[in-house]
Amino acid sequence: MADADGVLGTLERRSSALLLAGGALAVVYALLFAAEAIQGIMRPGIPQGIASGPAYALAFVGLLGLYPAVVDEGRWLARIGAVCAALGAFGFGAVFAVDVAKLAGVVPTPEPAWLGLLNLPTIIGLIPGFLLFGVASLRSEAHPRPVGYFLLVPAVAFSANFVALLAVGGGELSPWVFFVVTLGEAFGILGAGYLLRHDARVADRAAPSTDGDSGVVTTDDG
């Protein structure tokens, strides 16, 4: 069990808020696809990373907050999942920074080909990251079982999107497809965040405790 006063303990206490914030922003991102389908406003006017970057970066940081609870019963699942989530947070944070730079005119047009490599950590986060944490949560009794199922939803939704892109062989999918996929991802993130927010075990496990009248802060392990 991680130190309740350490970084992971802090993330565990805030994981539900981070997931809810990320999920809410992902809904906004999904609505932009709907707006693109109706009015064509996203491309080229709004770089997608401006909307997707903060949404998924927050969700991945929230995902890292689940690590202390699931690591005891799924050590390698949690460890590899944490690496994937960290890569996802980095990838979406970098995508956001690049798209801000595009708006500022710092990134040349057309953009350098190597920027496409930033898609790799985002894919690693969205598929194995959510998948591994979902399975680890289901194997653990630290959270309600539906939390694990909700965490699987973003991985399944993005995998379906990835398969659809491969199926069209380089062609374009309708923005409505991206709307449905992104809304599905948001649903999974919001569902997990909501259940965690109303699970008293999370607060009890992560909160520091005081040792009698001395006022000394201890953890559940000490």
pLDDT tens digits, 7-24: 878 888 899 999 999 999
Q: How far apart are CA 178 and CA 162, in angstroms?
A: 11
pLDDT tens digits, 208-219: 555 544 444 444
Q: How far apart are CA 216 and CA 157, in angstroms?
A: 46
What DSSP character marks residue 17? Answer: H
Say whether pLDDT at 128 is over 90: yes
Over residues 82-96, mean pLDDT: 96
Cβ–Cβ < 8 Å for 103, 50:
yes
Cα-Cα-Cα-Cα torsion 108, 121, 170, 183, nearest 10 degrees, comes to -100
6 compared with 109, residue with greater pLDDT: 6
CA angle 120, 127, 14 (to 5 degrees): 100
Residue 5: the pLDDT is 56
Q: Which long-range contacts (CB under 8 A, 24 or more apart) does 27-31 make?
A: 27/183, 27/186, 27/190, 28/55, 29/55, 29/182, 29/186, 30/178, 30/179, 30/182, 30/183, 30/186, 31/179
- The reported pTM is 0.85
Token pair belonging to 143: 């959270």
Q: At a CB cut-off of 8 Å and minimum separation 6, what does 130 contact?
A: 63, 151, 152, 153, 154, 155, 188
Residue 204: the pLDDT is 61
Residue 57: the pLDDT is 97
pLDDT tens digits, 45-72: 567 888 899 999 999 999 999 999 999 8
Cα 132 to chain centroid distance, Å, stands at 12
Residue 76: the pLDDT is 92
Q: At a CB cut-off of 8 Å and minimum separation 6, what does 167 contact?
A: none
